[in-house]
Chain A
Amino acid sequence: MEYAIELCHVSKSFPAGSVRTQLKDLFFLRNPSAGRHTVLHGIDLRVLPGEAVGLVGRNGCGKSTILQLVSRILCPDEGSITLHGRVSALLELGAGFHPDLTGRENLRTNAAVFGLTRAETDRRMETIIRFSELGHRIDDPVRTYSSGMYMRLAFSVAVHVDSDILLIDEILAVGDAAFQEKCFARLQEIRRSGTAILLVSHDTAQLRAVCDRCVWLQDGTIRAEGAPERICGDYAASQQLPS
């Protein structure tokens, strides 16, 4: 079986100093004075097509960095990342929306940012608009939208890209309860169609509902992985007993 996402011994560190000191180091050809701080050490992670994997852990443990690496926004220092198929990342909803353009125009741009061609966007247009429940407001400028409408539009585009790999970072709190219900249903549908899902959330109830497997990250390494019930339970228990 071919994995959709395969991370082998991936490490990632960031330069600790400011850009100014880095430039000085570069200019005087000396070793970095501020050093680097490592966020991930030798991570191994494999996700099958149609599998949903959740990442849990405290702030700064490297969850979001993994998503950024898989989405190719960052390059790993060491190790390799192999991806099969189109990736769509919901790391931030509505990135690149222009307030003065209409919902429909922004929908087009947003779909293009995900790498859809014009024909692909045209095919999905009506489905996306129906999913967003915006109705005729789709032709109003986005600046007149409420924050709920804004999020609904952005989410609707992102879940209709038909990617093979879907990355989600803490953004399932979209709209009211009914819309959230619909988002969950849509995620299950996407997963059943064979898309691999990797998601980060602090809401362990959400992870239990969506994931097949959970990975607990601590200080840039994998502390435990397994069934969502067990991992989320252990993680929650560890949080209630501050050391």
Chain B
Amino acid sequence: MLTQLRSLYAYREMIVCMVRRDLRGRYKGSALGFLWTFVSPLMQLGVYTIVFTHILKNGIDRYYLFLFTALVPWLFFSASLTGGAACVLAQKELVKKIWFPRAVLPAAYVTGAFINMLLCFAIILPTAILSGVQLRPGGLLLLPAVMAAEFFLALGMALLASSVTVYFRDMEHILSIAAMLWMYLTPVVYDISMIPARYRILLRLNPMTSVIGCYRDILYSGSLPDPAALLCAATQGLTALVIGWYVFECLQKRFAEVL
């Protein structure tokens, strides 16, 4: 594992280039360009807010912020899962023709999605302040820790999904459905307290529950993240990364043969 990490580090410039190529190439030639990064999450935020505050009245205070703090991290995770699944397949020509540490591809994809999330946080923070949330400095200091835990989780899932998809193409479609179901199994549009206590333990098994809980504690409630949830998120994130890495390393040896 150490040698593989070292070769990944040696190819760090490739990760940087792939991320830049992705972020700049994606919207090149379109009129709104980079602003498209924000359009999709803001549209979803608008639609969900209207549906869940005006049509289905849920009584959650400042629902737009309640949702925003969870939706942006969720969209990052979901992109890593569904888009990440196709990232090796999409670079088929490269994989078949040139050797490089294969983990560069999922790492670059997840990093790109992570940067998109960070840009959206540049909107969340002022929104929270304008909405009157008293942000705690301690909470903000722990925000990078929460983000790191989610990054590890997302990378682990992307490693797993991308390597399996190379052999089993249906996985890409299965995962896009799974991601939709997963969103409703995670307290994104609702709060975990709305779930009957005896089912809550099941929700706790979902690593995204703790992650989203931490974001909400910091940015919506203006408190410190629940230490148990933060620890849980970190453990689950690292576990996912180790499993994803291991599966990826086993499966990547024959990528060029099956692509």
Contacts and interface: CB of A to CB of B under 8 A. Distances in A.
Nearest to B99: A72
B99 A73 contact: yes
A227 interface: no
B258 A89 contact: no
B143 interface: no
Contact of B13 (A19, A87, A121): A121
A34 interface: no
Nearest to B92: A95
Given A19-B167, A98-B25, A105-B21, A71 B98 contact: yes
A223 interface: no
Contact of B25 (A19, A87, A100, A121): A100
Interface string B79-92: 00000000000010
A109 B254 CA distance: 25
B93 interface: yes
A100 B29 contact: yes
Contacts of A96: 91, 93-94, 98
Contacts of A235: none
A118 interface: yes
Given A91-B98, A92-B93, A112 B168 contact: no
A23 B25 CA distance: 36
A116 B12 CA distance: 9
A185 interface: no
A48 interface: no
B247 interface: no
Q: Is the interface of B mostly helix, strand, loop or mixed?
A: helix
B257 interface: yes
A101 B98 contact: no
A3 interface: no
B57 interface: no
Contact of A74 (B11, B12, B257): B257
Nearest to A14: B257
A23 B93 contact: no
A15 B253 CA distance: 14
Interface size class of B (residues with CB under 8 A): 20 to 34
Interface in A66-111: 68, 71-75, 87, 89, 91-92, 95-96, 98, 100-101, 105, 108-109, 111
A117 interface: yes
Interface string B92-106: 011111111000000
Contacts of A74: 256-257
A115 interface: yes
A101 B28 contact: yes
Which of A87, A95, A105 is packed against the most chain B CB atoms within 10 Å?
A: A95
B100 A113 contact: yes
B10 interface: yes
Contacts of B256: 68, 73-74
Contact of A75 (B13, B94, B253): B253
A46 to B, nearest CB: 21
B21 A89 contact: no
B16 interface: yes
A120 to B, nearest CB: 8
Given A75-B253, A101-B21, A112-B11, A95 B167 contact: no
A112 B98 contact: no
11 contacts: A23-B168, A73-B97, A87-B99, A95-B94, A95-B97, A98-B25, A101-B24, A111-B13, A112-B13, A115-B10, A118-B13
Given A19-B168, A96-B91, A115-B10, 6 more contacts: A23-B168, A71-B98, A75-B254, A95-B97, A112-B18, A115-B14
Give 9 closest A-B pairs by Cβ, nearest first.
Answer: A112-B14, A109-B17, A92-B97, A100-B28, A112-B13, A112-B17, A72-B99, A73-B256, A95-B97
